Amino acid sequence: MNQLIDKINEGHVKESLTHFVPGDTVKVLLRIKEGDKERTQVYEGTVIGRKGRGISETFTVLRVAGGYKTQRTMFVHSPKISVEVKRSGKVRRAKLNYLEHKTGAKARVKDKIRPRAK
């Protein structure tokens, strides 16, 4: 049974994925269809968690806009989205749900310092 499910899912898994982890600030480009028109909507925020694996893997992005915080959960392998990493964050947890209740400087995630390319 699992072999059949794996064979079906095999064709839908994205080959080239952008590597991102919780704490990273990402820019998600969503293709939205309204009537017969299609447009791209940008959703930018901090990744607060990833869940699942394979074709059903999801990630949650926390966005702060106008003083309001919104969360959106999206599928990693969805053909309607593409992800760009803006900043890498230094965190020590896999789930950052505590950021929902923090404001100001306490809600900030420190930048990960990367070695310079020579």
User: pLDDT higher for 118 or 68?
Assistant: 68
Phi then psi dihedrals of residue 64, to 5 deg = -115, 120
Summarised one tens digit per residue, pLDDT across range 41-91 is: 999 999 999 999 888 899 999 999 988 999 999 999 999 999 999 999 999
Number of other residues whose CB lies within 10 A of the CB of residue 28: 21
Integer-rounded Cα Rg, in Å, for the chain is 16
Q: What is the SS3 string spanning 46-59? A: EEEEEECCHHHCEE
Q: What is the pLDDT of residue 103?
A: 87
- CA dihedral defined by 97, 101, 106, 112, rounded to 10 degrees? 20
CA-closest candidate to residue 17, choices 84, 91, 88, 72: 84
Confidence band for 15, pLDDT divided at 50, 70 and 90: confident
Q: What is the pLDDT of residue 97?
A: 93
Q: What is the pLDDT of residue 114?
A: 73
Asked whether residue 117 carries a pLDDT value surpassing 70, the answer given is no
Number of other residues whose CB lies within 10 A of the CB of residue 20: 21
| Residue ranges of domains in the chain | 19-90
Q: What is the pLDDT of residue 8?
A: 80
Q: What is the pLDDT of residue 116?
A: 66
Half-sphere exposure of 113 (CA within 13 A, CB side): 0
What is the pLDDT of the chain when averaged over all its residues?
90
Tokens of 36: 């017969």
Confidence band for 16, pLDDT divided at 50, 70 and 90: confident
Helices and strands in the chain, H and E counts: 1, 5
80: three-class secondary structure by DSSP = coil
